[in-house]
Every structure is written in structure tokens, then in C-alpha cells.
């Protein structure tokens, strides 16, 4: 096969998804910060009438950061990394180019419709799967088109062996497809009742405990296949490429992959401990959650060892800083999760603020850091300009790291305080606190969390500004950088 | 045998099966490298040398013939 | 064999799928027959209660309130008897929630009244000064969607054989009968409320969201 001298990678779809990553990232974090502040200062609920209450905004926050920000980031990096590790350009196939563009526009229209319907209160009320059925149909279509892109690109690849990142992207595709379809099985009542009532309304195919089982099988694993698997795909490409060091042990990366696939799905039932699901399943969830530490740490340690002998890059290159810290937070939250899955710990932690605390050290420290690092790495190559400001990046790094630490420490304390107060009894065995006591005591922690939200949001704005300046007015590069991203 | 038992057995044997496969895979990875049949670590270079014009680490003449894998 | 898998993306994908699908198959499917059986005495929701349940979903009460009392003394002391699987048999979707920013509501009907809810939804701080819950004044003017609730009841009756119209059970009937029954129930609740606009609306034959959601909350026992 000859390579055409004029042939270049085509990043047009990756660029489009980069824009939405920034847009939805800002929107999702803005709402997140607002609802954090609402818990500390409830008057903030009334800014825009019924549409501005915590009730409407919290589902929007979760759905926008998951389906808007994270998925955009996954797609953007896929359309970049996929071409490169398979050494094939999308420009070689007009069909794939068309599919890529269709993928983006359908996704974007679907995302806007999703935001509007959620704001109007149309929801099937499942956490992280709140969209009503018409939006679900769009999401399925978007996913099928992405599948065509993934496997189409694989079909015309030059590099015969699939790099480990591709393994993870394939797993993301399959995992989310399966989970999303099964969890969202519902019957539109308008059609089933012969045209009565709202056309948007649907009723779940599962009821009660079964619905809970399916939902948390989904909820847990959507985190696996949305927040872990594709982000690992990113770190396996961007960290080696940015540092110029091959993965420390490719064999370990393969092992961790299969280990993760094997173990992760079993751990879902740990969300339902002490509930009405069968005991053996809760125990299974607990055990597998602990086993899950092994493959997760396998990947994380592999990343840190990749930097072996090259730690000086950590001080010289802020991008490496972002990625190393992301890997570290990945280790932290994959250790914290299994601890919460131990039954006795779960008894205290469940229903408290420790759970959002855990989620956020994972997403803020690991997912968002990694996606931002990936986009920073891609920018000079996609836009052929150097990164606008290294100083700004450094400042952003420290600001956001502080924010994450404030977030999870305050929520750890809040969660454990609350969990202990709920169960505290006096010498006669009577409950010591009324529920409202356990709410009032959290005010300072909620205030700290709101502050950390503001810091993180400012950091994200610095990222957005840096990216936009890079796209538009930074110094033009004459040739593509090989490893380290050039920055002013 | 009721569905409960079946469920128990199925999960038990599938878990054993997957654990055996995973260990088999470890052995396979290290043994094939030791025997010199296969160098897994070279795949790590795919990420580093990823120009569209660079030579594939592992490419061959029938790369293009995999159209049946289109989905 | 392993190496062959790595080189064949299609079979590789099949392999990944089998590994990840397996856990779900074993964990979830066989449990279905058992967990969906209702405990004795649990009745399907009336149309008004369903309309209220949809308000509960629309304003995402489940984001801050659980409906699951766990088997600890501290929880049964605070909220009442432990939750049983069969009590949720008619909950589509389930509304267990995952976070208690506010207290559990699974048996709130046992210890809160229509009057209490009315005051609390209008201005939570007037009832519980330290609360962080927002007021839901819009529920007093927005109208509940009774037709959609009826459509939902009819759907679960036809598709899942939920026992509506059974002897001694909840009567569903035609759409007009369903609307009439909902209004009847709404009048009974409005009689215990003091908000003038709500009373007037119900007298006109309209059902504000607040009436529906109180019907739903009162049923949680």
C-alpha cells in the first residue's frame, strides 16, 4: 500500500466535538456550581421561577456533564486518536466523513432537545437516564452512527494491530449500547392507550425492585463505560504521546483491560446494599467492588510508571501534570469506591454527601482533567497553532486542584457527620437528632463546596479562554509537533 | 432445579471459567514473549509513531480486505 | 487463540460483549419473577395518585428524598417499618432515590397531613425554619395532567396486567370515568386545604398539581 504524500489526518469532526465539549462543560459546571450554592443558600432557588429550582437543575447538571461534556470529549478524542493509532485518515473515505458529520449534527440537535425537555420537567426520573423516550431514540441513533464510524475506520485501517486505546473505545461503544438500551426500555403511554394524554410520557417496562436493579446495573456501569473506560483510552494515548515514552508495560495494559471488563459489571449491585434485593447479590457486589481495585490500579500504575526516569517533565510540562494528577485521582477514587462498597461502611455512607463527594473526586479530578489534557494536546495539531498560554494553564491547574481537594474533603466530612448523626442514639436508645439537625449542621460544608465549585468553574473558563485563543490568535506552527505540545 | 440454583451454578462456573481464561492470558502473554514468538511491547510504539505516512508496526497486504467487518 | 482475537476486531468485540453482558444476565434476569410480586394489601395507584406521582417526578423530589427504609433500628425508629420488595410492585419507575438531602418519604402518609404538606410546599421555612428545601408555589397554579395519568394506568393495565377494575380493587373505567374519579378524590383533598385559588380551581373542575401530589404523598404509608 502506498502512502499518498499529500494525505493528512482530517480533524473536522474532532474539532466540532471539541467545541461542544467546551460549551457543555461550561454549561454543566455553571449549573453544578449554582445548585451547590442553592444547598447552602436556598434563596438562590428562585432566580428563574419554577425553572430555576434545584429540582429542575440537578437532573440537567448530571445529564449535561455526562451526555454533553463527557460524551463530546469521548467523541472528539476518538475522531482524533482513532485515525492516528490506526494510521488511516477519514479523508480517505467520503462515507465515513459523511457519517462523522451526521454523527455530530444529530448529536447536537438531540442534546439541545434534551436540555429543553429536562428544563420543562419531562423526565422518566431515572438518574443519569432521565430523558423521555423521543430523546432516547435520538441517542440510540447517534450511538449507532458512532458505531459505524468506529467499525468503519477499523475496516480501512493500515495498522493491523489495534492499539489498546481502540480496545477501550470499542468497549465503550458496546457497554453503553447494552446498558442504555436495557435501562430505558419503556412504553410510550400515548400509543399504548390509543392517543390519550402527553405524547412524551412513558412508563418503565420494569417495576419496583426490578427497576432498581436494572437502574443501578446501568447507573454503576454507565460510570464504568462513560467515565472510566473511554478516559483510560485517552490516557493510554495522550500520556505516552505527550511525554514521548511508550506505555511502561503493554502486557499489563492488556491484562488490566480484560480484568476491568470482567469485574466491573458485577459490582453494580453495591448501590443497593441494605435494600430489598437478594443478599447474595449484595455480597457479590461488595466482593467484586473490592477486586475491582486490581485492574483499575493496574492501569493507573502503568501510567505512572510510564513516566519513570522522566519525572522532570512533570515540572516542565503542565500537560503532563494534568495527566499524572488525573491518574492519581483515578487511583484515589477507585480505592474509595470499594471502601464504600463494604457493607458496614455503606450503611453509614449511603444516602449521604459522601457519595457525591466520591463521584466528584472521580469526575473533577480524573475525567475532566484528562479530557482537558487531551484537548490541549490535540489543539496545536488540529489548529496548527501553539497553545496560547502556558502560564494560564499552570494557574488553571493549581486553581482546579485546590477546588477538587476542597470539594471532596468537605463532602467526606459532611457525609460522615450526617451518617453518624442519623444513627446516633442516647443512653436509652432514643434517636438523638431530628432530621433537620442533620441538615443544619451541613451548612458550612455546603458553603465550602459551593466555593470549590466557583474555583473549578473559573478554572474551566481559563481552559476555554486558552483554547479559544489557541484556535484563533496563537502563533502559527509550520510543522506538526511530534511529542511535547508547544506552548507560549 | 429451580432458577435460583441455576443462577448460582451459572455464575459460579462462569466466574471460574473467566478466572481461568484471565490466568491463561497472563501465561500466554509472558510465555509467547519469552519464546520469542511475539513481542507485545512493540505495540506500545503505535501511539508514538502515528503519522499517517509512517510504516505500520504490523500491517500486511490484506489489510484492505476486511470489509466484512464493517458493521 | 488470544492473538487471533486481538487481530480480529469483530470477534474481539463479541468477546468483550459476552464478558460484560454475562453479569447482567445472571444478576438481573432470574430475579424478575420473584421481586415483582405485590405484598398483600398493596393496591395500584388511582389516577389522581398517578398524576401526583408524575408531579413528584417532574419536580424531581427523588433527587433529595429517598423512599427506602433500610433494616436498621435508627431508620425504623425514624421513618417506620422496613420497606419490603413487594410494596413497590406497582412503581414504574421505582423512586428509591439515592440521596437524603431531606428525610425518607416511604411512609410519610403515616405522619404528615394534607394541611402540613400544603403549608410546607407553599413555604417550607414557615414549617421547618432551617430547611434548605425550595418552595413549590408553582404547584398551586400549574394543573396536574390527569389525562396522561389515566393513559399510564390504562397502559399498565393492558400491558402488565396491573389489577385495575378487579373486584374490590381500584376502578379505572373509561377516560371520562377516570377524570370524574380523579376530580372526586381531588375535592376530598381540597376540602382539607385553605388556599383559596386551589379551592376555586377544584370547584371549577380543575386539579392543581399540589392537590395531586398531596394525594400521592398521603398514599405513601
A169-193 pLDDT tens trace? 999 999 999 989 988 999 999 999 9
Query: Is residue C88 domain-shared with residue C116, that is, in the same domain?
Result: yes
Interface contact flag, A58 C60, Cβ < 8 Å: yes
Query: Is residue C182 domain-shared with residue C80, that is, in the same domain?
Result: yes
Q: A204 in helix, strand or coil?
A: strand
Does residue C122 have a cis peptide bond before it, meaning omega lies within 30 degrees of 0? no
Question: Alpha-carbon distance A278 to A472, whole Å?
Answer: 57
Interface contact flag, B28 C9, Cβ < 8 Å: no
DSSP C208: B
Query: Is residue C22 domain-shared with residue C94, that is, in the same domain?
Result: no
Query: Is residue C13 domain-shared with residue C67, that is, in the same domain?
Result: no
Per-residue model confidence as pLDDT tens digits over C64-90: 999 999 999 999 999 999 998 889 989
Q: Give percent of chain C with pLDDT exceeding 70.
A: 95
Q: Summarize the confidence of residues A347-369 as an average pLDDT.
A: 93
Length of chain C: 221
Query: Is residue C104 domain-shared with residue C24, that is, in the same domain?
Result: no
SS3 content of chain C, % helix, strand, coil (to 5): 60, 0, 40
Q: A431 in helix, strand or coil?
A: strand
Name the residue of chain C whose CA is nearest to A48's CA: C138
Interface contact flag, B11 C26, Cβ < 8 Å: yes
Which among A362, A456, A474, A353 has a CA at the least distance from the CA of A402?
A: A456
pLDDT of C64 reads 95
Cβ contacts of residue A365 below 8 Å, gap of 6+?
A: A325, A326, A328, A329, A330, A332, A333, A404
Q: How far is C84 from chain A (nearest CA, A)?
A: 6
Angle at C51 between CA C65 and CA C144, to 5 degrees: 105
Per-residue model confidence as pLDDT tens digits over A419-458: 999 999 999 989 999 999 999 999 999 999 999 999 999 9
The full set of domain ranges for chain B reads 19-52
Least confident of A45-59, A356-370, C32-46: C32-46
Q: Which residues of A touch C102 (CB under 8 A)?
A: 435, 439
Strands A186-188 and A202-204: antiparallel
pLDDT of C32 reads 65
* Residue to substitute from A132, A150, A193, A430, interface C, most C β-carbons within 10 A: A193
Q: Which residues of C touch B11 (CB under 8 A)?
A: 26
pLDDT: which is higher, A309 or A409: A409
Per-residue model confidence as pLDDT tens digits over C181-207: 999 999 999 999 999 999 999 999 999
The answer to whether residue C153 is domain-embedded is: yes
Q: Which residues of A touch C138 (CB under 8 A)?
A: 49-50
The answer to whether residue C40 is domain-embedded is: no
Query: Is residue C7 domain-shared with residue C63, that is, in the same domain?
Result: no
Query: Is residue C141 domain-shared with residue C73, that is, in the same domain?
Result: yes
Per-residue model confidence as pLDDT tens digits over C81-139: 999 888 998 998 999 999 999 999 999 999 999 999 999 999 999 999 999 999 999 99
Mean pLDDT of chain A: 91
pLDDT: which is higher, C12 or A266: C12
* Chain position carrying cell 454543566: A28
- H-type alpha helices, A156-207: 164-183, 189-192
Least confident of A1-15, A129-143, A195-209, A376-390: A1-15
The answer to whether residue C69 is domain-embedded is: yes
Least confident of A100-104, A238-242, A263-267: A263-267
Name the residue of chain B whose CA is nearest to A484's CA: B48
* Residue to substitute from B5, B10, B60, B67, interface C, most C β-carbons within 10 A: B10
C-alpha cell at C98: 439515592
First to last CA, chain B: 40
Number of domains in chain C: 2
Q: Give percent of chain A with pLDDT exceeding 70.
A: 95
* Chain position carrying cell 410480586: C37
pLDDT of C36 reads 63
Predicted structure pTM score: 0.92
Counting as low any pLDDT under 70, the low residues of chain B are 1-8, 11, 59-71
> Chain A 204-263, CB below 8 Å of chain B: which residues?
236-237, 240-241, 244, 246-247, 249-251, 254-255, 258-259, 262
Give the pLDDT band of residue C167 (cuts 50, 70, 90).
Answer: confident
Name the residue of chain C whose CA is nearest to A213's CA: C28
pLDDT of B63 reads 43
- H-type alpha helices, C46-123: 47-58, 73-79, 114-122
A467 pLDDT above the threshold of 70: yes
* Chain position carrying cell 488525573: A326
Q: How far is A170 from chain B (nearest CA, A)?
A: 12
Question: Alpha-carbon distance A28 to A463, whole Å?
Answer: 15
Q: How far is A479 from chain B (nearest CA, A)?
A: 12
A12 pLDDT above the threshold of 90: yes
Q: How far is B11 from chain C (nearest CA, A)?
A: 6
Structural domains of chain A ordered from first start:
307-477+484-488 (1.20.210.10)
Burial of A6 (0-12, 13-18, 19+ CB in 10 A): exposed
Q: How far is B48 from chain C (nearest CA, A)?
A: 20
Chains interfacing with B (3 or more CB pairs < 8 Å): A, C
The answer to whether residue C41 is domain-embedded is: no
C33 touches chain B (CB under 8 A): yes
Query: Is residue C11 domain-shared with residue C99, that is, in the same domain?
Result: no
The answer to whether residue C26 is domain-embedded is: yes
Question: Alpha-carbon distance A249 to A260, whole Å?
Answer: 17
pLDDT of B61 reads 44
DSSP A90: G
pLDDT of B7 reads 66
C4 touches chain B (CB under 8 A): no
Task: State the CB neighbour count (10 A cutoff) for residue A428.
Answer: 5
Q: Summarize the confidence of residues C139-148 as an average pLDDT.
A: 95
Query: Is residue C107 domain-shared with residue C8, that is, in the same domain?
Result: no
A287 touches chain B (CB under 8 A): no
The answer to whether residue C42 is domain-embedded is: no
User: What ipTM did this prediction achieve?
Assistant: 0.91
Query: Is residue C18 domain-shared with residue C104, that is, in the same domain?
Result: no
pLDDT of C193 reads 95
Angle at B3 between CA A183 and CA A343, to 5 degrees: 60
DSSP string, A295-315: HHHHHHHHHHHHTTT-THHHH
pLDDT of B32 reads 84
Picking from B43, B54, B61, the nearest residue to A250 by CB comes out as B43
Q: Summarize the confidence of residues A243-252 as an average pLDDT.
A: 91
* Chain position carrying cell 445472571: C26
> What is the domain-level CATH number for residue C198?
1.10.760.10
DSSP string, A407-446: HHHHHHHHHHHHHHHHH-B-TTS-BSS-HHHHHHTTHHHH
Query: Is residue C124 domain-shared with residue C203, that is, in the same domain?
Result: yes
Domain residues for the domain of C52 are 47-219
The answer to whether residue C15 is domain-embedded is: yes
Cβ contacts of residue A94 below 8 Å, gap of 6+?
A: none
The answer to whether residue C18 is domain-embedded is: yes
Amino acid at each position: 500500500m502506498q502512502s499518498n504524500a499529500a494525505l493528512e489526518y482530517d480533524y473536522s469532526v474532532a474539532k466540532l466535538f471539541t467545541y461542544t465539549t467546551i460549551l457543555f462543560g461550561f454549561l454543566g459546571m455553571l449549573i453544578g456550581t449554582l445548585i451547590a450554592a442553592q444547598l447552602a443558600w436556598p434563596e438562590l432557588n428562585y432566580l428563574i421561577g419554577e425553572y430555576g429550582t434545584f429540582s429542575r437543575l440537578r437532573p440537567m447538571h448530571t445529564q449535561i456533564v455526562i451526555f454533553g461534556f463527557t460524551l463530546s470529549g469521548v467523541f472528539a478524542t476518538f475522531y482524533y486518536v482513532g485515525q492516528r493509532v490506526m494510521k488511516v485518515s477519514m479523508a480517505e473515505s467520503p462515507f465515513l466523513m459523511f457519517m462523522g458529520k451526521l454523527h455530530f449534527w444529530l448529536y447536537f440537535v438531540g442534546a439541545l432537545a434534551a436540555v429543553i425537555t429536562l428544563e420543562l420537567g419531562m423526565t422518566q426520573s431515572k438518574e443519569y437516564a432521565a430523558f423521555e423516550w423521543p430523546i432516547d431514540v435520538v441517542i440510540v441513533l447517534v450511538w449507532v452512527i458512532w458505531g459505524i464510524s468506529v467499525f468503519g475506520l477499523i475496516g480501512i485501517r493500515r495498522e493491523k494491530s489495534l492499539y489498546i486505546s481502540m480496545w477501550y473505545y470499542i468497549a465503550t461503544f458496546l457497554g453503553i449500547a447494552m446498558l442504555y438500551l436495557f435501562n430505558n426500555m419503556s412504553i410510550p403511554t400515548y400509543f399504548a392507550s390509543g392517543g390519550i394524554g402527553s405524547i412524551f410520557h412513558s412508563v418503565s417496562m420494569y417495576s419496583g425492585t426490578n427497576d432498581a436493579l436494572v437502574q443501578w446495573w446501568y447507573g454503576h456501569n454507565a460510570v464504568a463505560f462513560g467515565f472510566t473506560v473511554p478516559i483510560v483510552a485517552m490516557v493510554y494515548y495522550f500520556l505516552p504521546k505527550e511525554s514521548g515514552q511508550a506505555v511502561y508495560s503493554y502486557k499489563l495494559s492488556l491484562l488490566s483491560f480484560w480484568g476491568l471488563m470482567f469485574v466491573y459489571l458485577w459490582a453494580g449491585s453495591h448501590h443497593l446494599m441494605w435494600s430489598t434485593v437478594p443478599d447474595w447479590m449484595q455480597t457479590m457486589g461488595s466482593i467484586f467492588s473490592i477486586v475491582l481495585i486490581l485492574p483499575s490500579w493496574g492501569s493507573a500504575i502503568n501510567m505512572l510508571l510510564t513516566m519513570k526516569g522522566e519525572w522532570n517533565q512533570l515540572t516542565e510540562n503542565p500537560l503532563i501534570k494534568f495527566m499524572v494528577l488525573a491518574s492519581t485521582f483515578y487511583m484515589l477514587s477507585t480505592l474509595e469506591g470499594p471502601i464504600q462498597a463494604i457493607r458496614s461502611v455503606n450503611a453509614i455512607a449511603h444516602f449521604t454527601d459522601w457519595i457525591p463527594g466520591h463521584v466528584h473526586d472521580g469526575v473533577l479530578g480524573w475525567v475532566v482533567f484528562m479530557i482537558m489534557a487531551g484537548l490541549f494536546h490535540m489543539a496545536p495539531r488540529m489548529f496548527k497553532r501553539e497553545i496560547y498560554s502556558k502560564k494560564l494553564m499552570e494557574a488553571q491547574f493549581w486553581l482546579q486542584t485546590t477546588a477538587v481537594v476542597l470539594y471532596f474533603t468537605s463532602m467526606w466530612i459532611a457525609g460522615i457527620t450526617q451518617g453518624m448523626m442519623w444513627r446516633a442514639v442516647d443512653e436509652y436508645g432514643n434517636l438523638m437528632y431530628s432530621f433537620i439537625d442533620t441538615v443544619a449542621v451541613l451548612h458550612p460544608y455546603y458553603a465550602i463546596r459551593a466555593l470549590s465549585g466557583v474555583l473549578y468553574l473559573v478554572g474551566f473558563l481559563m481552559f476555554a479562554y486558552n483554547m479559544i485563543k489557541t484556535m484563533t490568535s496563537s502563533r502559527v506552527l509550520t510543522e506538526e509537533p511530534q511529542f511535547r505540545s508547544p506552548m507560549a | 432445579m429451580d432458577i435460583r440454583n441455576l443462577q448460582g451454578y451459572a455464575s459460579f462456573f462462569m466466574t471460574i471459567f473467566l478466572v481461568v481464561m484471565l490466568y491463561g492470558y497472563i501465561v500466554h502473554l509472558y510465555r509467547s514473549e519469552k519464546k520469542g514468538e511475539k513481542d507485545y511491547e512493540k505495540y506500545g510504539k503505535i501511539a508514538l509513531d502515528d503519522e499517517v505516512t509512517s510504516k505500520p508496526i504490523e500491517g500486511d497486504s490484506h489489510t484492505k480486505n476486511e470489509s466484512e467487518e464493517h458493521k | 487463540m488470544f492473538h487471533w482475537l486481538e487481530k480480529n476486531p469483530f470477534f474481539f468485540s463479541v468477546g468483550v460483549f459476552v464478558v460484560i453482558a454475562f453479569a447482567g444476565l445472571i444478576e438481573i434476569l432470574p430475579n424478575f419473577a420473584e421481586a415483582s410480586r405485590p405484598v398483600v394489601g398493596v393496591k395500584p395507584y388511582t389516577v389522581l395518585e398517578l398524576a401526583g406521582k408524575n408531579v413528584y417526578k417532574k419536580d424531581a423530589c427523588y433527587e433529595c428524598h429517598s423512599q427506602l427504609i433500610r433494616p436498621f433500628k435508627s431508620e425504623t425508629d425514624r421513618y417506620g417499618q422496613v420497606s419490603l420488595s413487594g410494596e413497590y410492585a406497582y412503581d414504574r419507575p421505582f423512586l428509591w432515590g439515592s440521596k437524603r438531602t431531606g428525610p425518607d418519604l416511604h411512609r410519610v402518609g403515616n405522619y404528615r397531613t394534607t394541611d402540613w404538606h400544603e403549608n410546607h410546599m407553599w413555604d417550607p421555612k414557615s414549617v421547618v425554619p432551617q430547611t434548605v428545601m425550595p418552595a413549590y408555589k408553582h404547584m398551586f397554579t400549574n394543573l396536574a395532567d390527569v389525562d396522561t395519568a389515566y393513559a399510564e394506568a390504562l397502559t399498565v393495565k393492558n400491558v402488565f396486567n396491573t389489577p385495575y377494575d378487579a373486584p374490590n380493587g381500584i376502578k379505572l373505567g373509561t377516560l371520562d370515568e377516570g377524570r370524574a374519579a380523579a376530580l372526586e378524590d381531588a375535592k376530598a383533598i381540597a376540602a382539607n386545604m385553605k388556599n383559596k385559588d386551589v379551592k376555586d380551581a377544584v370547584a371549577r373542575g380543575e386539579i392543581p398539581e399540589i392537590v395531586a401530589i398531596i394525594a400521592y404523598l398521603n398514599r405513601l404509608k
